[in-house]
Amino acid sequence: MDRLTAVILAAGEAKRMRSRQPKVLHPLCGRPLIAYALRTARALADRTVVVTGPNADDVRVAAGDGATFVEQRERLGTGHALGQARAACGDGPIVVLAADMPLLSSETLERLVAHHRGAGAAATVLTAVVDRPQGYGRILRQGGRVKRIVEDRDATDDQKKITEINTSVYCFEARRLWKALAEVRPDNEQGEYYLTDVIGILAKAGSRIEAVAAPDPIEALGINDRKQLAAVAAILRRRILDRLMADGVTIVDPASTYIEDTVTIGPDTVVEPQVVIEGVTTFGTECVIGSGSHVTASRFGDRVALKPYCIINDAVVEDGATLGPFCHLRPGCHIGAKAKVGNFAELKKSRIGRGSKVPHVSYVGDTTVGEDVNIGAGTVTCNYDGVRKHETKIADGAFVGTNSSLVAPLTIGEGAYIGAGSTITQDVPPGALAVARGQQVVKEGWAAGKVKKHARPEE
């Protein structure tokens, strides 16, 4: 069987997005817009060709490996864009996709290609029947057969009443496609080479034109402006949540939960309201993600508990750990199994060992904490001297008293104790007690004397 080529048209400008960034790079549920077309194409096609505009290096980077890129230097329409891909396509069937249709499923595309091959058609168009066809090209039929497609801006009043629309997704037989494309002329309001004109040219030549209707018109939704981007994002987010719930995840309030397409969550995990989970993030089984938590690009084991309002970015949290409420893990943190990070604790580029505790109101930065360590409330690792960052190492079983300042670089040995309120500037040997604070002075009767001194004279 001839190899299938998928051509993704991604050269459009972002005029209606009001953006200097190419439209296909705008983020949608954790991925650039073009990633969805690429994923759909790669699920079916033997080769993928992406047509970009000039200066599209960022698009190439976002698309990654596995695609061939061709450039449309002048934006002269969709027909002209497809023509730039001819040398990169084989002799087998060619499926053409728009880069701004993220809801198109691979199953629908597979059905389109299968129908095209089975019918021996020159072209097969994916259509949809919608209530509001404004802005879309209309499918014109004669005797039930597709005869041509007319763009919305070029349609007559009667043609605009047609509700069967062109989705801009096609499957072509290569030889007849290129012959017909050479006959397309820019005789339209935009002065562009319309790919849609190929359908009329092929039909006029007596070639067989087929149509396959999308099972759900939502698959035909394209994105041209930020309002449409938000509308499609809402649909996609609901699909993501539905998939997670079908896989055994409890979403307490889907309406207030934002989970990106790059997130994986294990069964029997509970996601409470107002949670945001972004980036390539993984949760294991039986976790609890507390209300208001915001998680980005992190990995969690099983039975992890995030109490409400945790902010976590680029962290690893092992099985059975408990975090929060109101804790902040900045990038580079690793929390060991059954460790605890309490409320209003902030950690940065630190490793907390198994069973260790950073209970509350502490800052731990550039620090390695061993197993079964207790760090008292109000402890600060002083990791920055105004020029460079320095590391603190706290060995297994150490105890750091409340309101201590640990001035890095510093090592606290295994089983050592730090007295509360200490400022520690030198290494502490294993098993030792370090106390560094001013000597307490008690002046008996001082308070009464102060009151007498400041008392007002009797009037």
**Residues with catalytic function:** 360
Sign of CA dihedral 226, 232, 236, 238: positive
Query: What is the residue whose two structure tokens read 């990791």?
Result: 383
| Strands in 73-143 per DSSP E | 94-98, 123-129, 138-142
Per DSSP, the three-state class of 426 is coil
Tokens of 371: 């197993």
DSSP letter at 117 equals H
Nearest Cα residue to 84 out of 143, 10, 152, 26:
10
DSSP letter at 29 equals T
The enclosing H or E element of 116 equals helix 106-119
- Please, which residues have CB within 8 angstroms of residue 262's CB and are 6 or more apart in sequence? 30, 31, 278, 279, 280, 281
| C-beta separation of 386 from 372 below 8 A | no
Cα dist from 97 to 172, 386, 408, whole Å: 12, 54, 57
* 3-state DSSP percent of the chain in helix, strand and coil, to 5: 20, 30, 50
| Total length of the chain | 459
